[in-house]
């Protein structure tokens, strides 16, 4: 469910109270752990944490690099964590740590789905957000682009 909200507050106000509360809690965790240099905006119909174009304008689609995002979908909520999909090792490590919490591992191509805040390993989400600086994320992006060009 893509939102047309222009602001994060407007987006949150569109949500049912239980989802507003859950996304508000995970948003607070993300903001507490977000490395310097990323910005929080509404983009792609979601609350997005991205590398500003002023910092890195050389993207394939001329849009900011999305680092993470929060969204309320039709049947679930989701945390998008782009950095864990930068390598098979990163994805495997995240999965191992996630499963060790005992919580249900429900992921899509680039998201972790949840129905309630208690479904998420909040500490792991915070650690994952804190783990990658803007410079490191840009380097990961550039490495992935050069691999695609060669392949």
CA–CA separation, 22 and 49 (whole Å) = 17
Overall domain count for the chain: 1
Does the pTM exceed 0.75? Answer: yes
The domain that holds 36 is classified in CATH as 3.90.1150.200
Compute CA 84 distance to the chain's CA centroid, rounded to the nearest angstrom: 9
Short-list 109, 119, 44, 39, CA closest to 77: 119
- Number of Cα atoms under 13 Å in the Cβ half of residue 34: 21
Query: pLDDT per residue over 96-137, tens digit each?
Result: 999 999 999 999 878 999 999 999 999 999 999 999 999 999
Range of the domain at 118: 8-150
Distance between start and end Cα atoms, the chain: 34
Query: pLDDT per residue over 56-67, tens digit each?
Result: 999 989 999 999
DSSP state of 60: T
**117 belongs to a structural domain:** yes
**2 belongs to a structural domain:** no
Give the pLDDT of residue 147: 61
Between 60 and 3, the more confident residue is 60
């Amino acid at each position: 469910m893509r939102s047309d909200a222009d602001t994060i507050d407007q987006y949150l106000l569109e949500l049912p109270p239980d989802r507003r509360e859950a996304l508000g809690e995970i948003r607070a965790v993300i903001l507490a752990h977000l490395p310097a240099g990323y910005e929080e905006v509404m983009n792609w119909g979601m609350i997005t944490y991205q590398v500003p174009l002023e910092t890195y304008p050389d993207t394939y689609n001329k849009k900011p690099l999305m680092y993470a995002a929060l969204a309320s979908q039709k049947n679930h909520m989701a945390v998008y964590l782009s950095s864990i999909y930068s390598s098979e090792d990163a994805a495997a490590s995240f999965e191992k740590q996630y499963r060790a919490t005992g919580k249900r591992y429900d992921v899509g191509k680039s998201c972790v789905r949840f129905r309630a805040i208690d479904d998420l390993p909040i500490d792991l989400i915070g650690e994952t957000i804190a783990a990658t600086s803007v410079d490191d994320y840009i380097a990961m992006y550039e490495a992935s682009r050069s691999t695609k060009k060669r392949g």
